[in-house]
Structure 1
Amino acid sequence: MPALTVWCYGTPLGATAGSVRLRRLEQARALEVIDAITVSWAPGAHRPRVTRLWPPPEVTAREPSVLVALLRSAIGDSQSGDPLPPDFADRLAATGLDPALLEAVTERLVPRTSALLVLSGAADLSVVVPAVRQRIVSGEVTLLRADLPTDGPALLRTAVGLEPSGPTD
């Protein structure tokens, strides 16, 4: 089952360490990574730095990241103090993603923190959760997760404007 998983770390380098573990999990076939990014907010920086992890660089240039587009929409609205626009929230609802999850992510993304966002297909959480939490002091990492329908990744691409929407009646 596809899912959007967000690991929110209490340090700017937590997501980078988590990304190393994510690569190992993907190589071990514990999960199928569709898209993955890290968001790190260093002390003194005016905004967080976003790094795309997956797919590999040779594919990245051809296909924009659904997670980058989703995060830009969510952060843009949270910084202005406005809730997500109703039409965007409606489009997200069709994907199975609750806008409250995005609000929870943006609330946790503050200076001196980081996050690892992963859009995945099949995953063995009994293997993934302990691996990502490895060597993290208790309380420094929070897992946010949304299960998506089978066509959720495609619906998410449409919701963030990376794919044309279907015909309207």
Structure 2
Amino acid sequence: MATLTVWKFDTPEGAGGVEDTLLNLQKQELIKVLDAATVSWPAEAGKPRTKQLHNLAGVGALSGTFWGMLFGLLFFMPLLGAAVGAAAGALGGKMADIGIDDDFIDSVKSQVTPGTSALFLLSRDAVVDRVRDAFPGGHTELIHSNLDSEKEARLREVFAH
């Protein structure tokens, strides 16, 4: 079963420094990274910067479309026009069908704010405590949503096109 986790860092730079850590954790077989992306939100910025971590993406990597739509729902929705908003609302319904519901979105929106950063990680077989302890630089908070096999398959189907 794949797990989508969101790890929040207390600084805008925190999530940017985890790529090497995740690679090392994979070598130690403490996690299997399927895909990952980061959000960095400097305190003075009006919106966050996002980046897909291609060096970590495994065979089951999601498309950039998935990350773009998820980040659009999370951080840019108030900036979108009505027509785009309606399309995103329909997409939001599909995401709820695969385990990314309003509670998950509201939780991430309320916690990933200016002055913070986050790692969005699709993984398998993570030893969560060891992963958390390995992240550099202070306080890291886990926001977590499990995806069962059926929901993972639907996720891939929705974003395959």
CA RMSD of aligned residues (A): 2.8
Structure 1 moving runs of 4+ over 4 Å: none
Return closer, same or farther for 1:56/1:130 CA change in 2, 3 Å cut-off.
closer
Partner in structure 2 of residue 77 of structure 1 = 77
Partner in structure 2 of residue 91 of structure 1 = 94
Which structure shows the bigger proportion of residues in helix conformation? 2
Whole-angstrom distance in 2 between the partners of 1:152 and 1:55? 25
Whole-angstrom distance in 2 between the partners of 1:55 and 1:69? 21
Query: Given that residues 6 and 115 in structure 1 are in contact (C-alpha distance below 8 angstroms), is that contact kept between their aligned partners in structure 2?
Result: yes
- Match runs of 1:29-44 below 5 Å: 29-44=29-44
Query: Given that residues 19 and 56 in structure 2 are in contact (C-alpha distance below 8 angstroms), is that contact kept between their aligned partners in structure 1?
Result: no
Query: Given that residues 35 and 66 in structure 1 are in contact (C-alpha distance below 8 angstroms), is that contact kept between their aligned partners in structure 2?
Result: no
TM-score by length of structure 2 reads 0.77
Deviation at 1:65, TM superposition (A): 5.3
Partner in structure 1 of residue 104 of structure 2 = 101
Whole-angstrom distance in 1 between the partners of 2:9 and 2:125? 24
Worse-superposed segment, 37-46 or 1-10? 37-46
- Match runs of 1:1-169 below 5 Å: 1-55=1-55, 63-64=63-64, 66-77=66-77, 85=89, 87-132=90-135, 134-136=136-138, 140-159=139-158, 162-163=159-160
Query: Given that residues 3 and 123 in structure 2 are in contact (C-alpha distance below 8 angstroms), is that contact kept between their aligned partners in structure 1?
Result: yes
Deviation at 1:14, TM superposition (A): 1.1
Deviation at 1:79, TM superposition (A): 5.5
Return closer, same or farther for 1:53/1:156 CA change in 2, 3 Å cut-off.
same
Query: Given that residues 36 and 55 in structure 1 are in contact (C-alpha distance below 8 angstroms), is that contact kept between their aligned partners in structure 2?
Result: no
2:148 counterpart SS class: coil
TM-score by length of structure 1 reads 0.74
